[in-house]
Structure 1
Amino acid sequence: MIIFGTKGYLYQLAILTLVCGQCGNPAAHTLRKRVTKFTLFFVPLFPFSTKFGTQCTFCGAEHQVPKEQADQLLAQAAGAVQNPAQQYGQPQGQPGGNPYQR
């Protein structure tokens, strides 16, 4: 007797701030990778399906995205992590100096 089947794995790749296509709100979206692997005797051997998608944390809507777009979003998230000052802007000083500094 041979026992075979499939097993699914879900990986969270990044969290991005995007405008949701469903609700229209600028909200955090999780970028996820879903991999389905062929199993033999409950041992995962090789992947035969890989899909990428985003999920809005505001309304819960999920959208499937192609691999190329997922790679671009992942590169965008990695660039924001490497240079956080660029994402949020440079800190600005108060005009006239710091009133608490002597």
Structure 2
Amino acid sequence: MIIFGTRGYLHQLAIITLLCGHCGNPSAHALRKRVVKFTLFFVPLFPISVKYMTQCTFCGAQQKVTAEQAGQLQAQAAQGPADLAGQSGQGSSPLGQQPYQG
């Protein structure tokens, strides 16, 4: 008898402040990575799918993002809010949402 299946993992990569495309409020967005792995005898072996998403902490709306966009948002979060203030007027985030310049 062979026991196999899948198991999902959810990793929070960053928290970044953006204007929500759904509710329009400047709020924190959680950048998350969901990985589904194939398991054999309850041992996770290899990933089957990897998806990235952001979730607004104000209204709860989720938006799927590509791996490239997730990398850009993660780099933007690593810069910190002090560095973002000096970049006003330079484009937008990969999601079409603007970084909040509080």
Class of the TM-score when normalised by the shorter of the 2 chains: 0.7 to 0.9
In our comparison, the structure showing a higher alpha carbon Rg is 1
CA RMSD of aligned residues (A): 1.4
User: Hey, what does 2:15 align to over in structure 1?
Assistant: 15
Q: Give, in whole Å, the separation in 1 of the partners of 2:22 and 2:14.
A: 20
Partners of 2:82 and 2:10 lie apart in 1 by: 31
TM-score by length of 1: 0.79
Amino acid at match of 2:32: R
Q: Which has the higher contact order (CA 8 A, sep 6+)?
A: 2
| Displacement after TM superposition at 1:79 (Å) | 1.5
Give the match for residue 74 of structure 1.
74
Matches within 5 A, 1:13-92: 13-80=13-80, 85-87=82-84
Show structure 1 runs of 4+ deviating over 2 A: 84-89
Unaligned runs of 5+ in 1: 90-102
1:45 and 1:85 mapped to 2: Cα distance?
41
Number of residue equivalences: 86
> Which consecutive unaligned segments of at least 5 residues does structure 2 have?
87-102
Identity of aligned residues (%): 72
TM-score normalised by structure 2 residue count: 0.79
